[in-house]
Amino acid sequence: MVIAYNIRKYREEKNITQQNLADYLHISRQSISKWERGDSLPSIDNLILLSEYLQIPLDTLVKEQFFLPLPFEFDKPKSFAQLRWLLFFPGILLMMMFFPSDLMDKLTLIPIALFILILELVMTFFDFKRYYAYFTVEKDGLRVFHGNTRARTVLPNLYYLLLIAIGKRQTVFVPYSEIETITIFFETRGYNSPNTVVVYRPRQAFALRERFEAHIRLKDEEQINLNLDGCFYAHSLERKYFYAMFAYFQHKEVKVKDPYHILSSLEQEHNFIQEAYQVGQQAREKAAE
Protein backbone atom coordinates (compact mmCIF):
# COMPACT_ATOMS: atom_id res chain seq x y z
CA MET A 1 0.00 0.00 0.00
CA VAL A 2 2.94 2.36 0.62
CA ILE A 3 4.11 2.23 -2.99
CA ALA A 4 0.52 2.43 -4.24
CA TYR A 5 -0.06 5.72 -2.40
CA ASN A 6 3.24 7.17 -3.55
CA ILE A 7 2.89 6.29 -7.23
CA ARG A 8 -0.51 7.93 -7.43
CA LYS A 9 0.49 10.93 -5.31
CA TYR A 10 3.59 11.88 -7.31
CA ARG A 11 1.99 11.04 -10.66
CA GLU A 12 -0.93 13.38 -9.97
CA GLU A 13 1.35 16.09 -8.57
CA LYS A 14 3.17 16.20 -11.91
CA ASN A 15 -0.07 15.99 -13.94
CA ILE A 16 0.97 12.69 -15.53
CA THR A 17 -1.77 10.34 -16.68
CA GLN A 18 -1.74 6.61 -16.15
CA GLN A 19 -1.45 6.18 -19.91
CA ASN A 20 1.63 8.47 -20.09
CA LEU A 21 3.28 6.43 -17.37
CA ALA A 22 2.33 3.15 -19.02
CA ASP A 23 3.76 4.29 -22.37
CA TYR A 24 7.07 5.23 -20.74
CA LEU A 25 7.34 1.85 -19.00
CA HIS A 26 6.05 -0.07 -22.06
CA ILE A 27 3.28 -1.73 -20.07
CA SER A 28 -0.51 -1.52 -20.09
CA ARG A 29 -2.48 1.20 -18.33
CA GLN A 30 -4.25 -1.55 -16.38
CA SER A 31 -0.92 -2.47 -14.79
CA ILE A 32 -0.48 1.10 -13.53
CA SER A 33 -4.03 1.02 -12.19
CA LYS A 34 -3.32 -2.22 -10.31
CA TRP A 35 -0.19 -0.71 -8.75
CA GLU A 36 -2.12 2.33 -7.55
CA ARG A 37 -4.88 0.16 -6.07
CA GLY A 38 -2.31 -1.99 -4.32
CA ASP A 39 -3.40 -5.12 -6.20
CA SER A 40 0.15 -5.76 -7.43
CA LEU A 41 3.66 -4.32 -7.04
CA PRO A 42 6.10 -3.05 -9.69
CA SER A 43 9.35 -4.93 -10.20
CA ILE A 44 12.68 -3.46 -9.08
CA ASP A 45 13.46 -2.42 -12.65
CA ASN A 46 10.11 -0.67 -12.96
CA LEU A 47 10.62 1.05 -9.60
CA ILE A 48 13.88 2.50 -10.87
CA LEU A 49 12.20 3.68 -14.08
CA LEU A 50 9.34 5.15 -12.04
CA SER A 51 11.72 7.15 -9.85
CA GLU A 52 13.47 8.48 -12.98
CA TYR A 53 10.27 9.44 -14.79
CA LEU A 54 8.64 10.99 -11.72
CA GLN A 55 11.95 12.68 -10.84
CA ILE A 56 12.00 11.56 -7.21
CA PRO A 57 14.57 9.47 -5.30
CA LEU A 58 13.85 5.76 -5.14
CA ASP A 59 13.81 5.77 -1.32
CA THR A 60 11.14 8.52 -1.39
CA LEU A 61 9.01 6.36 -3.65
CA VAL A 62 9.04 3.42 -1.26
CA LYS A 63 9.16 5.16 2.15
CA GLU A 64 6.32 4.63 4.61
CA GLN A 65 5.25 8.24 5.03
CA PHE A 66 1.96 7.42 3.34
CA PHE A 67 1.37 4.02 4.95
CA LEU A 68 -1.68 3.72 7.20
CA PRO A 69 -2.39 0.58 9.25
CA LEU A 70 -6.07 -0.35 8.99
CA PRO A 71 -8.26 -0.23 10.93
CA PHE A 72 -6.79 2.86 12.61
CA GLU A 73 -8.45 4.16 15.79
CA PHE A 74 -7.73 7.88 16.02
CA ASP A 75 -7.27 9.19 19.59
CA LYS A 76 -8.72 6.15 21.34
CA PRO A 77 -7.38 5.88 24.93
CA LYS A 78 -5.03 2.95 25.40
CA SER A 79 -6.76 1.71 28.56
CA PHE A 80 -9.76 2.28 30.81
CA ALA A 81 -7.59 3.14 33.82
CA GLN A 82 -8.54 6.83 33.77
CA LEU A 83 -12.24 6.03 33.51
CA ARG A 84 -12.04 3.54 36.40
CA TRP A 85 -10.38 6.13 38.65
CA LEU A 86 -12.97 8.71 37.65
CA LEU A 87 -15.88 6.49 38.67
CA PHE A 88 -14.23 4.83 41.69
CA PHE A 89 -15.05 7.28 44.52
CA PRO A 90 -18.49 8.35 43.24
CA GLY A 91 -19.26 4.66 42.75
CA ILE A 92 -18.33 3.86 46.35
CA LEU A 93 -20.66 6.58 47.62
CA LEU A 94 -23.54 5.39 45.46
CA MET A 95 -23.03 1.80 46.61
CA MET A 96 -23.39 3.00 50.21
CA MET A 97 -27.00 3.87 49.38
CA PHE A 98 -27.78 0.16 49.51
CA PHE A 99 -26.63 -0.11 53.13
CA PRO A 100 -29.29 0.11 55.88
CA SER A 101 -29.61 3.78 56.84
CA ASP A 102 -31.99 6.73 56.93
CA LEU A 103 -33.54 7.69 53.57
CA MET A 104 -32.38 11.29 53.85
CA ASP A 105 -28.81 10.13 54.45
CA LYS A 106 -29.00 8.02 51.32
CA LEU A 107 -30.32 10.89 49.22
CA THR A 108 -27.54 13.14 50.51
CA LEU A 109 -24.98 10.80 48.96
CA ILE A 110 -26.22 11.56 45.42
CA PRO A 111 -25.20 15.26 45.25
CA ILE A 112 -21.94 14.46 47.06
CA ALA A 113 -21.07 11.78 44.49
CA LEU A 114 -22.00 14.15 41.66
CA PHE A 115 -19.87 16.95 43.16
CA ILE A 116 -16.84 14.66 43.43
CA LEU A 117 -17.35 13.49 39.85
CA ILE A 118 -17.52 17.04 38.48
CA LEU A 119 -14.52 18.09 40.59
CA GLU A 120 -12.47 15.25 39.13
CA LEU A 121 -13.49 16.20 35.59
CA VAL A 122 -12.60 19.87 36.09
CA MET A 123 -9.22 19.27 37.71
CA THR A 124 -7.92 16.54 35.42
CA PHE A 125 -5.73 17.03 32.34
CA PHE A 126 -7.35 14.03 30.68
CA ASP A 127 -10.09 14.55 28.11
CA PHE A 128 -12.66 11.89 28.98
CA LYS A 129 -14.61 12.60 25.79
CA ARG A 130 -11.92 10.57 24.04
CA TYR A 131 -13.54 7.40 25.38
CA TYR A 132 -16.58 7.84 23.18
CA ALA A 133 -15.67 10.49 20.57
CA TYR A 134 -12.75 8.73 18.85
CA PHE A 135 -13.22 7.51 15.29
CA THR A 136 -11.93 4.54 13.31
CA VAL A 137 -10.53 4.67 9.79
CA GLU A 138 -11.53 1.49 7.96
CA LYS A 139 -10.94 0.27 4.43
CA ASP A 140 -14.27 1.44 3.01
CA GLY A 141 -15.30 4.22 5.37
CA LEU A 142 -15.19 5.88 8.78
CA ARG A 143 -16.78 4.49 11.92
CA VAL A 144 -17.77 7.45 14.07
CA PHE A 145 -19.49 7.92 17.40
CA HIS A 146 -23.28 8.02 17.09
CA GLY A 147 -24.01 11.07 19.21
CA ASN A 148 -23.77 14.83 19.15
CA THR A 149 -20.60 15.08 17.07
CA ARG A 150 -21.02 18.80 16.40
CA ALA A 151 -21.06 20.00 20.01
CA ARG A 152 -17.89 21.53 21.44
CA THR A 153 -18.01 21.07 25.22
CA VAL A 154 -15.41 21.06 27.97
CA LEU A 155 -17.01 18.46 30.22
CA PRO A 156 -17.86 15.04 28.80
CA ASN A 157 -21.40 13.73 28.56
CA LEU A 158 -21.89 11.56 31.66
CA TYR A 159 -24.53 9.46 29.93
CA TYR A 160 -22.09 8.55 27.16
CA LEU A 161 -19.39 7.73 29.74
CA LEU A 162 -21.77 5.36 31.53
CA LEU A 163 -22.51 3.64 28.21
CA ILE A 164 -18.76 3.22 27.68
CA ALA A 165 -18.38 1.80 31.19
CA ILE A 166 -20.86 -0.97 30.36
CA GLY A 167 -19.48 -1.53 26.85
CA LYS A 168 -22.37 0.05 24.94
CA ARG A 169 -20.63 2.63 22.75
CA GLN A 170 -22.81 3.31 19.71
CA THR A 171 -21.27 4.04 16.32
CA VAL A 172 -22.39 4.71 12.77
CA PHE A 173 -20.51 3.73 9.61
CA VAL A 174 -19.92 6.46 7.01
CA PRO A 175 -18.77 5.10 3.60
CA TYR A 176 -16.22 7.20 1.73
CA SER A 177 -18.61 7.25 -1.22
CA GLU A 178 -21.07 9.33 0.86
CA ILE A 179 -18.49 11.99 1.84
CA GLU A 180 -18.46 15.22 -0.16
CA THR A 181 -15.50 16.95 1.52
CA ILE A 182 -13.29 16.79 4.61
CA THR A 183 -11.98 20.15 5.82
CA ILE A 184 -9.12 20.34 8.33
CA PHE A 185 -10.07 23.14 10.72
CA PHE A 186 -7.63 24.81 13.15
CA GLU A 187 -8.96 27.66 15.30
CA THR A 188 -6.41 30.43 15.79
CA ARG A 189 -8.78 33.33 16.43
CA GLY A 190 -8.75 34.36 20.09
CA TYR A 191 -5.34 32.85 20.87
CA ASN A 192 -2.40 35.20 21.36
CA SER A 193 0.48 33.05 20.25
CA PRO A 194 1.39 29.80 18.51
CA ASN A 195 3.60 29.10 21.54
CA THR A 196 0.80 29.01 24.12
CA VAL A 197 1.99 27.10 27.18
CA VAL A 198 -0.52 25.70 29.63
CA VAL A 199 0.96 24.68 33.00
CA TYR A 200 4.19 22.85 32.31
CA ARG A 201 3.52 21.25 28.91
CA PRO A 202 2.26 22.88 25.71
CA ARG A 203 -1.47 22.33 25.18
CA GLN A 204 -1.77 19.69 27.89
CA ALA A 205 -4.96 21.26 29.27
CA PHE A 206 -7.37 20.21 26.53
CA ALA A 207 -10.00 22.73 27.63
CA LEU A 208 -7.72 25.70 26.87
CA ARG A 209 -6.18 24.78 23.54
CA GLU A 210 -7.25 25.49 19.99
CA ARG A 211 -10.06 23.66 18.23
CA PHE A 212 -8.50 21.15 15.85
CA GLU A 213 -11.13 19.21 13.93
CA ALA A 214 -12.03 17.43 10.73
CA HIS A 215 -15.28 18.87 9.38
CA ILE A 216 -16.92 16.19 7.26
CA ARG A 217 -19.67 17.25 4.89
CA LEU A 218 -21.73 14.41 3.48
CA LYS A 219 -23.43 14.44 0.11
CA ASP A 220 -26.81 14.77 1.86
CA GLU A 221 -25.52 18.05 3.46
CA GLU A 222 -25.16 16.51 6.94
CA GLN A 223 -22.00 17.56 8.80
CA ILE A 224 -19.90 15.54 11.24
CA ASN A 225 -17.09 17.08 13.30
CA LEU A 226 -14.24 14.84 14.44
CA ASN A 227 -11.67 15.86 17.05
CA LEU A 228 -8.04 15.81 15.87
CA ASP A 229 -6.39 16.76 19.20
CA GLY A 230 -4.32 13.58 19.20
CA CYS A 231 -2.05 15.17 16.59
CA PHE A 232 -0.89 17.79 19.12
CA TYR A 233 1.38 15.20 20.76
CA ALA A 234 4.60 14.79 18.80
CA HIS A 235 5.21 11.12 19.64
CA SER A 236 1.63 9.90 19.25
CA LEU A 237 0.44 7.50 16.58
CA GLU A 238 -2.06 10.17 15.61
CA ARG A 239 0.78 12.53 14.68
CA LYS A 240 2.75 9.74 12.99
CA TYR A 241 -0.11 8.67 10.72
CA PHE A 242 -1.92 12.00 10.34
CA TYR A 243 -0.58 12.73 6.85
CA ALA A 244 -1.07 9.14 5.75
CA MET A 245 -4.66 9.17 6.99
CA PHE A 246 -5.63 12.13 4.82
CA ALA A 247 -3.63 10.72 1.91
CA TYR A 248 -5.76 7.60 2.26
CA PHE A 249 -8.94 9.69 2.16
CA GLN A 250 -7.73 11.27 -1.07
CA HIS A 251 -6.85 7.82 -2.39
CA LYS A 252 -10.50 6.96 -1.80
CA GLU A 253 -11.44 9.97 -3.95
CA VAL A 254 -12.59 12.11 -1.02
CA LYS A 255 -11.89 15.82 -1.50
CA VAL A 256 -9.70 17.14 1.34
CA LYS A 257 -9.55 20.87 2.08
CA ASP A 258 -6.59 22.11 4.11
CA PRO A 259 -6.88 25.92 4.45
CA TYR A 260 -4.30 26.06 7.26
CA HIS A 261 -1.68 24.02 5.37
CA ILE A 262 -1.51 21.39 8.12
CA LEU A 263 -0.67 18.53 5.76
CA SER A 264 2.12 20.32 3.91
CA SER A 265 3.64 21.38 7.25
CA LEU A 266 3.66 17.80 8.51
CA GLU A 267 4.99 16.47 5.22
CA GLN A 268 7.93 18.88 5.42
CA GLU A 269 8.32 18.23 9.17
CA HIS A 270 7.64 21.87 10.04
CA ASN A 271 5.82 23.20 13.12
CA PHE A 272 2.25 22.85 11.89
CA ILE A 273 0.86 24.93 14.77
CA GLN A 274 3.09 27.89 14.01
CA GLU A 275 2.36 27.73 10.29
CA ALA A 276 -1.39 27.49 10.96
CA TYR A 277 -1.17 30.72 12.97
CA GLN A 278 0.73 32.41 10.17
CA VAL A 279 -1.90 31.38 7.63
CA GLY A 280 -4.69 32.54 9.94
CA GLN A 281 -3.00 35.90 10.52
CA GLN A 282 -2.45 36.44 6.80
CA ALA A 283 -6.10 35.66 6.10
CA ARG A 284 -7.29 38.16 8.72
CA GLU A 285 -4.95 40.87 7.41
CA LYS A 286 -6.17 40.30 3.87
CA ALA A 287 -9.80 40.46 5.00
CA ALA A 288 -9.12 43.75 6.82
CA GLU A 289 -7.72 45.45 3.70
Over the stretch 170-221, which tens digit does the pLDDT of each residue have? Answer: 899 999 999 999 999 998 775 555 554 443 344 455 556 788 999 999 999 9
**205 compared with 92, residue with greater pLDDT:** 92
Asked if residue 122 has pLDDT above 70, the reply is no
Average pLDDT over residues 214-230: 94
Supply the DSSP string of 38-84, one letter for each residue: TSS---HHHHHHHHHHHTS-HHHHH-GGG---SSEEET--S-SHHHH
Task: Give the model's pLDDT for residue 271.
Answer: 86
Average pLDDT over residues 112-135: 76
Average pLDDT over residues 81-103: 68
Domains of the chain: 2-66 (1.10.260.40), 72-77+129-288 (2.30.29.30)
Share of the chain above pLDDT 90, in %: 30
Torsion angle of alpha carbons 279, 185, 264, 24, nearest 10°? Answer: -130
Rounded distance, CA 35 to CA 24, Å?
Answer: 15
Task: Give the model's pLDDT for residue 93.
Answer: 65
Asked if residue 139 has pLDDT above 80, the reply is yes
Average pLDDT over residues 71-90: 80
Task: Give the model's pLDDT for residue 256.
Answer: 96
Average pLDDT over residues 125-151: 83
Rounded distance, CA 274 to CA 280, Å?
Answer: 10
Task: Give the model's pLDDT for residue 64.
Answer: 59
Task: Give the model's pLDDT for residue 200.
Answer: 34
**150 compared with 284, residue with greater pLDDT:** 284
Asked if residue 63 has pLDDT above 90, the reply is no
- Calculate the alpha carbon distances from 116 to 35, 91, 119, 205, 266 in Å: 57, 10, 5, 20, 41
Task: Give the model's pLDDT for residue 78.
Answer: 84
31 pLDDT tier (thresholds 50, 70, 90): very high
87 pLDDT tier (thresholds 50, 70, 90): confident
246 pLDDT tier (thresholds 50, 70, 90): very high
Query: What b-and-e string marks burial along 17-28, b requiring 16 or more CB atoms within 10 Å of the CB?
Result: ebeebbeebeee
- The model's pTM is 0.66
Mean pLDDT over the full length of the chain: 81
Q: What is the β-pairing status of strands 255-257 and 179-186?
A: parallel
162 pLDDT tier (thresholds 50, 70, 90): confident
In which element (H, E) is residue 26 found? none
The dihedral sign for the CA sequence 97, 101, 105, 107: positive
DSSP at 15: T
Asked if residue 149 has pLDDT above 60, the reply is no
**125 compared with 111, residue with greater pLDDT:** 111
Average pLDDT over residues 242-269: 90
